[in-house]
A and B are shown apart, each in its own frame.
Chain A
């Protein structure tokens, strides 16, 4: 590939132009705002690390509810959703085309239905009065005697959010991993059989996963990003931000609360930078897992 020194930049130029303009510049601005006091109307004034210091020392809600909620949510939904995605992707790849497409569509559909559908469906299922499906079923079975106000009860909000998040975790990572499994070189399996692979599990560990590392990494990063950046769920289910007694408050809700309800944009920006650092840390760990060896 001699004499082509310029060409990589030609290939990259269109993307980089728009990427810089609409993503890098805004992100840089947001990072800058995190060092200011900005109420979205007056010009921001520089306050140094004040927002970060306040976040660590004075934001009781953050320390008491938001951070533990986010971590619990992420620890369950991240790995849980990832493993579920991979498992379903792998199983679907063992089926013929027609049933595979139908199942893939069903599993992917929660990621497709935008906010409206989620709110409509789940709020009806977990409706607090007797007409809610969950209450109706539990009351018919005799498990409970009176309806539970699911979405306002601080004990149930986070678990329900976790269920809904797992339910909608078969996103683009799932699709990528499925086409990863489907496109593993078939001759590798034949060679593996000769080398003494005895069952599908060994095949999975020794052939499938190593052959689709790029997709595994993509899926992992998307799972991490998706989980930490999830926020709409709690607000849509409970219909309020902050969620009742902060029981379902996640980082993103906290950012929205400060940025768009209290109009403390500088502080909200600082929160998003902290969130970015958390995501970056986990993404780096998963990169270590999938790109080596």
Chain B
């Protein structure tokens, strides 16, 4: 009797999955603690933040921390909506451009034969290994030399080329059988058509994963605001939230820091849930049958 695998990505619960839950749940509780903590901490009144013995869950939830944060935000003279707009605008554009550029380049690097291909890959993968802080000052010099500081370009352009994203996408394109592309060529498809109609649909899981990563890198990025902008109204939400939490005293600050990190965290969470449902690629192998 051959082994019958209950399979990857089952559609419903099966008793055989029980052992996995037994294994996963303790891990999940430990890993989720800090998130639960952030959500609870944000709603704690001052006396609970410093209660002894410390409590994990909030008992008398309050919006005090939110009020403190919004009061402080009002004092800064620039409406919060401006930071929100900056962040959303920059993030959407970078994620979109970065995915477009990485998939285009990934296709060429994976499926095309041309001179310098190996070297290009090697340079890309070496670049992602270089520790980011060492490039901070040289990058700053580049941005000022080009003359884009204090514009939206300074937020967008330095982040669009993401070596990690390209590496990830290229790895997934490697898995697409060459025969599929050859078949498309025989059918008379142009290069761009192959990219659009064959490659992109087949690497949806990679695109979803790269999008999660790109969003999170840009959304949380403080470097561009910190170094490449000088006027307050060009800064992003991540930068603003961070300075707010840092500039106040420690006692009240802890509650506000919790609120700030909760606000920054929620968009990541929503996007993750939406995109993670796209990682199952139902077409991957059907094209070959």
Contact = CB atoms under 8 A, between A and B. Distances in A.
Contacts, number: 303
Contacts of A23: 127, 135, 161, 163
Given A7-B191, A117-B265, A197-B3, A18 B101 contact: yes
11 contacts: A21-B157, A26-B138, A88-B24, A106-B35, A107-B27, A170-B31, A176-B168, A252-B133, A265-B137, A276-B126, A280-B129
A272 B108 CA distance: 31
Interface stretch (B10-18, B58-66, B84-92): B10-18
A275 interface: yes
Contact of A187 (B35, B54, B161, B285): B285
Given A24-B127, A94-B6, A176 B171 contact: yes
Interface in A100-159: 100-101, 103-114, 116-118, 120-122, 124, 130-133, 136, 140
Given A120-B254, A252-B133, A265-B137, A106 B32 contact: yes
A185 B285 contact: yes
Interface stretch (A48-56, A60-68, A216-224): A216-224
B2 A194 contact: yes
Given A114-B264, A131-B53, A22 B134 contact: no
Interface string A6-27: 0111011011101101111111
A293 B123 CA distance: 24
B3 A113 contact: no
A124 B216 CA distance: 25
A109 B109 CA distance: 31
Interface of B: 2-13, 17, 20-21, 23-24, 27-28, 30-35, 37-38, 41, 50-54, 56, 100-102, 104-105, 107-109, 112-114, 117, 120, 123-135, 137-139, 141-142, 146, 157-161, 163-164, 166-168, 171-172, 174-175, 185, 191, 195, 205-206, 208-209, 212-213, 216, 220, 238, 241-242, 245, 254, 257-258, 260-261, 264-265, 268-269, 272-273, 276-277, 279-281, 284-285
A54 to B, nearest CB: 17
Q: Interface majority SS on B: helix, strand, loop or mixed?
A: helix
A11 B208 CA distance: 21
Given A94-B20, A183-B281, A12 B261 contact: no
A27 B136 CA distance: 9
Given A113-B35, A179-B205, 16 more contacts: A11-B104, A11-B112, A14-B100, A19-B161, A88-B27, A94-B8, A103-B28, A120-B254, A121-B38, A172-B168, A175-B279, A178-B279, A182-B279, A189-B7, A215-B171, A280-B126
Contacts of B141: 26, 29
- Judged by DSSP, the binding face of A is helix
A197 B4 CA distance: 9
A21 B147 CA distance: 13
A12 B129 contact: no
Given A24-B123, A132-B54, A196-B2, A116 B17 contact: no
Given A29-B141, A133-B54, A184 B34 contact: no
Interface residues of A, number: 110
Interface in A156-186: 167, 170, 172, 175-176, 178-179, 181-186
Given A11-B105, A93-B8, A272-B130, A121 B34 contact: yes
A86 to B, nearest CB: 14
